């Protein structure tokens, strides 16, 4: 082919390349228009137990959420900062214990004195018993000594009890974590005077979580302990086991409460969730992935791939949906291959190409 004089050499070469490419694409385009093999992805229709569901709001709460209070009066010496992670038994806050330590020393001295008094009277009793046998001491002296001995024993018991009480109060000057958790709120700060019963910190267990949800009473009979229900928030989903169902409905809202255990949950305490609560008994249904549905003005349909790798369009009626699957009614059987990708422009009878994997 001679190059036109008015066309530069570089543009002439580009025009030749474009023309060659277009000629190569003509058979491909023609094949597509004539219903050539289409690249698709398939899944298998299956039978599974399914129940219709409704979404109800729920909230993630900790099963261990406590406001730790002072058990003795005194000035706060130390309080854990917000965000401090503590193991069970670790000190959360400390109350000044000087007065109690001094009281301990005083009571220890009283116990020592009571023990000495008791030892003296016991020895006196033994001495008077020997003298009484020889008629060298009056019986009244022996009885008086025995009475004093019994009083001394009682005094010793009282002194020891007071000492143990003070020792117990001394240990309570340290407020310890009753479970593993994190300090989420400081209710008092060092330097303030705490009175017995004053809330000092709030401790929350971030590992033992549960979901508290409320659902209409009409669905009460379909929810049972041990069921796994789907909970979700945005793009995050998880399965939670129903731990308990409160069998008493609220007379104002006509709702019942259910609590679900969360294990390894991606949700923080306080997160609002949607809980999928069953609204009917489960039954065996034929399901396909939702992506298999083709929505057209004439209704719902799916493409089933036959033994010759050709797509056959089947009209279906949809039923209960759960997660990514949906119930279908129509000329479809369990085990049929249904198209879930590439079905937007498929034509019935069109050959398909299913890549491996």
- pLDDT at position 6, please? 44
Residues 89 and 336: their CA atoms lie apart, in Å, by 59
Residues with pLDDT less than 50, the chain = 1-3, 5-7, 23-34
| pLDDT at residue 181, rounded to an integer | 94
Q: What pLDDT is attached to residue 279?
A: 86
Half-sphere exposure of 162 (CA within 13 A, CB side): 17
Q: Are 315 and 330 in contact (CB under 8 A)?
A: yes
**Tokens in use for 170?**
């001394």
Query: How far lies 322's CA from each of 49, 55, 268, in Å?
Result: 10, 11, 25
Q: Does the pTM exceed 0.85?
A: no
116: left (phi over 0), alpha (psi -120 to 50) or beta: alpha
- Give the Cα separation of 265 and 211 in Å (integer): 11
Structure letter (DSSP) for residue 177: -
Burial track 28-66 (b if 16+ CB lie within 10 A, e otherwise): eeeeeeeeeebebebbebeeeebbbbeebebbbbbebeb
Nearest to 343 by CA among 285, 289, 268: 289
Q: CA torsion 298→304→305→307, rounded to 10°?
A: -120
Query: Coil, strand or helix: which one is 224?
Result: coil
pLDDT at 8: 56
């Amino acid at each position: 082919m001679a190059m036109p004089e008015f066309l530069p050499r570089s543009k002439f070469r580009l025009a030749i390349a474009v023309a060659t490419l277009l000629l190569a694409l003509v058979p491909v385009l023609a094949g597509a228009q004539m219903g050539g093999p289409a690249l698709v992805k398939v899944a298998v229709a299956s039978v599974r137990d399914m129940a219709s569901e409704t979404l109800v709001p729920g909230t993630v709460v900790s099963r261990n959420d406590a406001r730790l209070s002072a058990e003795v009066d005194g000035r706060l010496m130390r309080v854990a900062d917000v965000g401090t992670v503590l193991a069970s038994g670790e000190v959360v806050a400390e109350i000044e214990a000087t007065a109690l330590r001094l009281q301990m020393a005083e009571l220890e001295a009283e116990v020592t004195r009571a023990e000495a008094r008791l030892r003296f009277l016991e020895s006196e009793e033994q001495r008077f018993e020997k003298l009484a046998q020889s008629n060298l001491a009056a019986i009244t002296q022996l009885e008086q000594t025995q009475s004093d001995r019994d009083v001394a024993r009682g005094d010793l018991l009282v002194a020891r009890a007071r000492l143990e009480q003070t020792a117990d109060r001394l240990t309570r000057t340290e407020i310890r974590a009753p479970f593993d958790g994190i300090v989420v709120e400081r209710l008092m700060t060092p330097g303030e005077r705490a009175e017995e019963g004053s809330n000092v910190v709030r401790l929350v267990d971030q590992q033992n979580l549960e979901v508290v949800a409320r659902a209409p009473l009409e669905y009460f009979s379909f929810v049972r302990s041990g069921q796994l229900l789907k909970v979700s928030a945005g793009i995050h989903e998880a399965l939670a086991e129903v731990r308990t169902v409160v069998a008493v409905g609220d007379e104002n809202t006509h709702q019942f409460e259910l609590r679900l255990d969360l294990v390894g949950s991606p949700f923080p305490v306080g997160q609002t969730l949607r809980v999928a609560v069953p609204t009917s008994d489960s039954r065996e249904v034929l399901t396909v992935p939702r992506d298999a549905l083709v929505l057209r003005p004439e209704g719902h349909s799916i493409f089933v791939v036959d033994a010759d790798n050709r797509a056959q369009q089947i009209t279906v009626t949809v039923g209960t949906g759960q997660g990514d699957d949906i119930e279908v009614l129509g000329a479809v059987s369990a085990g049929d291959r249904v198209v879930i990708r590439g079905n937007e422009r498929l034509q019935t009878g069109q050959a398909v190409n299913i890549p491996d994997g």
